[in-house]
Amino acid sequence: MHLLLLLSTLAALAGPIFADTFDTCRSFFNWNPSVPGVILTLPGSTIPTTFHENACICTSTIPIFLQTLLPLQLLTGLIGNSATTAYLMDQIRTGGSQCDLSQPHSTLLCTQTSGPLIDPCSISCTPPFVKSPTSNTCICPAETVLCNGVCTFACATYHVRRQMYPLCRRGESLCGVWGRPSVGECLNLRSNLESCGGCVTPLPGQASAGKDCSMIPGVADVRCIHGECAVSRCRRGWSLAALGDGCVEDL
């Protein structure tokens, strides 16, 4: 009677099982759910039974396990749902971990599997998001960026008049347009002659980079190859530089 009173009190103090942004979870390995003074026996048997359960349980999934895990079903039949819930809540909070449910694009693995986990706070990511190699978060795959909650190869940018810059294709970068700060253009910086290797005219607030190959002194024929100016011919009175990236005036 004293035990049932204690467990009932714990149930009252525990408060709601479900949390908004955090959940407490614990992985149980070779676990024998037992309450002092309560003997568990299999249905139709009088012999005390020892269980060896492996499970990952969160406070939010307690109702599920009370209905599906045999020793907890037996406990519920003997001491009631509230007392069994309080017992399990105490077990989870004693050796469990507080898991953050606010991570976007993720689901707590412990709420999806019946087996134990080394880290009960491990998450799975909603495709196309992938698990970060350095933290327990979900990120966009390589070569993509997060734009308005979606993984994309480029993100639209807004200027002060709230007009939208173009959304660039894969392999292109958004650069500025000379004399038109509210306009952007998509360029392939690996092959664009006038913005080779970087945006010569950047977007507002960004630094200029790259090179305008057409402005190389003495050049007659030039291309941008893999982000580098490659001069193939110089004007009369100029000679090709040793590295092929410019022209040298003849003495």
Q: What is the pTM of this model?
A: 0.52
Q: What residue type is 163 in one-letter code?
A: Q
Indicate whether 13 pLDDT > 70. Answer: no
Indicate whether 154 pLDDT > 80. Answer: no
With a CB cutoff of 8 Å and minimum separation 6, the contacts of 215 are: none
Least confident of 159-173, 184-198, 224-238: 159-173
Handedness of CA 237, 242, 243, 244 (dihedral sign): positive
Q: Which helix (H) or strand (E) holds 6?
A: helix 2-14
Burial 133-162 (b: 16+ CB within 10 A, else e): eeeeebbbeeebeeeeeebbebeeeeeeee
What is the residue extent of each domain of the chain? 2-105+107-111, 158-210, 213-249
Integer Cα distance of 66 and 60 in angstroms: 12
- Tell me the average pLDDT across 217-227: 90
Q: How confident is the model at residue 148 (pLDDT cuts 50, 70, 90)?
A: low
Q: Which helix (H) or strand (E) holds 12?
A: helix 2-14
Structure tokens at 115: 């087996």
Indicate whether 119 pLDDT > 80. Answer: yes
Each residue's pLDDT tens digit, 189-205: 988 989 999 999 888 77
**pLDDT, the chain, mean:** 81
pLDDT value at residue 70: 92
Each residue's pLDDT tens digit, 56-115: 999 999 999 999 999 999 999 999 999 999 999 999 998 899 998 887 888 998 888 777
Integer Cα distance of 218 and 246 in angstroms: 8
Integer Cα distance of 197 and 3 in angstroms: 74
